[in-house]
Amino acid sequence: MPLQPFSSSQSLSMGVELELQLVDPTSLDLTGAASDLLHLLERKPFPGDVKPEMTESMIEISTDVKTDYDSLLAQLREMRDALVAAGDKLNVRLAGGGTHAFQHWSEQAIVKKQRYQQLSDLYGYLAKQFTVFGQHVHIGCESANSALFLLHSLNRYLPHFIALSASSPYFQGEDTLFDSARLNSVFAFPLSGRAPFVLDWEMFESGYFRKMEATGVVSSMKDFYWDIRPKPEFGTIELRVCDTPLTVERAAALACYLQALCSYLLTCSEPAPSEDDYLVYNFNRFQACRFGLDGIIVDPRNNKNIPLREDILQTLDKVQLHAGRLGCRAALDEVRRILVEGNHATYLRHQFAECRNVKGVVDAAVDAFRGQP
């Protein structure tokens, strides 16, 4: 199947997808309730989109195309409230967080959908281990080339989003010492990681995608699990490194921070992206996953070490004007609060310290999602 032509969309418009956990209120373990919940939600109009994900204990919600923080947050809250109400009716709890603290991957059931069954056959246990929960943010691009430009310009800022959203310190009942253990599960897939350094869409299509398609390894863009990938049918780039935060408020703030950053990058105030930027890409990514906001990254332009927290603060200053113009200054305030109070991985570790049990971590995640932290 040839690559779809890149549809043009309103520059800097945005959309958010959140993968959410379905939790049993008694055991606080994941529960295979996606089909029941979707059946109930089908009965009346849902304020957005909701669909099944890889396993029966996950669902994915997505917003409409938005341009500003207030309307994005309003829709996310509406969706959250509708989900919580449906969950209450079925004795199911919902939670954010990049991983469930103590679920066992082998107990998860793959959703009965052809694509997921094929992926399960292909990837074996990796498919069930993929019971991890991410936030994807789409940013609208007017042209395919501006999408590729943004995609590669963002490579240096990727650790910001990993560290700010990190909410998966616990995995299979243990503290992994990572702030985002989720990305380790994603990294196990052969087509994960970074996109090839191509800045021209025609080159990307004929020089890369067609060759890959000819190998039989991929048939569509969906087969790539890159950290950022173009989404030609939507006319967007899709940032996929964020853990699902514990609250929709944080999810909206992260999306708007990305929007403001893209607006800044499109002014070409920074040197153009280059292949050499990727020399430190995996190292920086690791620092953000492992240490969160306390990570130290290497600036590929001057090879200097810089604390991640400081780099984010500097970037916030740079994008402040753009945020004001886009109507998302409140989102940047929320990002500043994260830098002071810590990310959600820190919050979950505090919860564990208080109750000394991973079940308490899930309990706290459930309450946070309902807006009752």
Residue 117 interacts with other proteins (CB under 8 A)?
no
CA atoms within 13 Å, Cβ hemisphere of 98:
32
- Can you say whether the dihedral through the CA atoms of 233, 234, 240, 243 is positive or negative? negative
Cα(361)–Cα(368) distance, integer angstroms: 11
Q: Can you tell me which of 3, 12, 18, 28 binds other proteins, judged by CB under 8 A? A: 28
Residue 363 interacts with other proteins (CB under 8 A)?
yes
- Tokens 């105030």 — which residue? 269
Nearer to other proteins, 45 or 216 (CB): 45
**Torsion of Cα atoms, 279 then 253 then 310 then 285, to 10°:** -20
In this chain, which stretch among 30-38, 173-181, 187-195, 217-225 interacts with other proteins, using CB under 8 A?
Answer: 30-38
CA atoms within 13 Å, Cβ hemisphere of 280:
19
Q: What share of the chain is helix, strand, coil (3-state, %, to 5)?
A: 50, 15, 35
Q: Both ends of the chain: CA-CA distance in Å?
A: 47
Residue 101 interacts with other proteins (CB under 8 A)?
no
- Can you say whether the dihedral through the CA atoms of 174, 179, 184, 186 is positive or negative? positive
Residue 359 interacts with other proteins (CB under 8 A)?
yes
Residue 56 interacts with other proteins (CB under 8 A)?
yes
Cα(226)–Cα(336) distance, integer angstroms: 28
Nearer to other proteins, 195 or 358 (CB): 358
Nearer to other proteins, 39 or 350 (CB): 39
Q: Can you tell me which of 109, 122, 272, 279 binds other proteins, judged by CB under 8 A? A: 109
Give least dist CB 78 to other proteins, A.
Answer: 19
Give least dist CB 89 to other proteins, A.
Answer: 5
Residue 89 interacts with other proteins (CB under 8 A)?
yes
In this chain, which stretch among 6-14, 273-281, 304-312, 349-357 interacts with other proteins, using CB under 8 A?
Answer: 349-357
| Partners of 51 in beta bridges | 60
Residue 38 interacts with other proteins (CB under 8 A)?
no
Size of the site for other proteins (CB under 8 A): 27
Residue 210 interacts with other proteins (CB under 8 A)?
no
Q: Can you tell me which of 4, 5, 10, 39 binds other proteins, judged by CB under 8 A? A: 39
Yes or no: say if 173 and 358 are a contact pair by the CB < 8 Å rule: yes
Yes or no: say if 135 and 155 are a contact pair by the CB < 8 Å rule: no
Nearer to other proteins, 29 or 213 (CB): 29
Decide the pairing of beta strands 225-226 and 192-193: parallel
Single-letter code of the amino acid located at 43: R
Q: Can you tell me which of 31, 185, 247, 259 binds other proteins, judged by CB under 8 A? A: 31
Yes or no: say if 251 and 76 are a contact pair by the CB < 8 Å rule: yes
Spatial CA neighbour of 130 closest among 184, 87, 168? 184
Binding track, positions 299-328, relative to other proteins; x by CB under 8 A: ------------------------------
Q: Can you tell me which of 193, 196, 342, 360 binds other proteins, judged by CB under 8 A? A: 360
Residues sharing a CB contact under 8 Å with residue 287, sequence separation 6 or more, in sequence order: 159, 295, 296, 297, 308
Q: Can you tell me which of 90, 212, 221, 321 binds other proteins, judged by CB under 8 A? A: 90
Spatial CA neighbour of 281 closest among 245, 336, 241? 241
Nearer to other proteins, 27 or 118 (CB): 27
Q: Can you tell me which of 4, 5, 10, 35 binds other proteins, judged by CB under 8 A? A: 35
In this chain, which stretch among 22-30, 73-81, 152-160, 167-175 interacts with other proteins, using CB under 8 A?
Answer: 22-30
Yes or no: say if 109 and 56 are a contact pair by the CB < 8 Å rule: yes
Give least dist CB 39 to other proteins, A.
Answer: 5
Tokens standing for residue 3: 């690559």
CB 295: neighbour CB atoms within 10 A?
Answer: 23
Residue 121 interacts with other proteins (CB under 8 A)?
no
Which residue ranges make up the site for other proteins (CB under 8 A)? 24-28, 31-33, 35-36, 39-40, 56, 86, 88-91, 107, 109, 112, 355-357, 359-360, 363
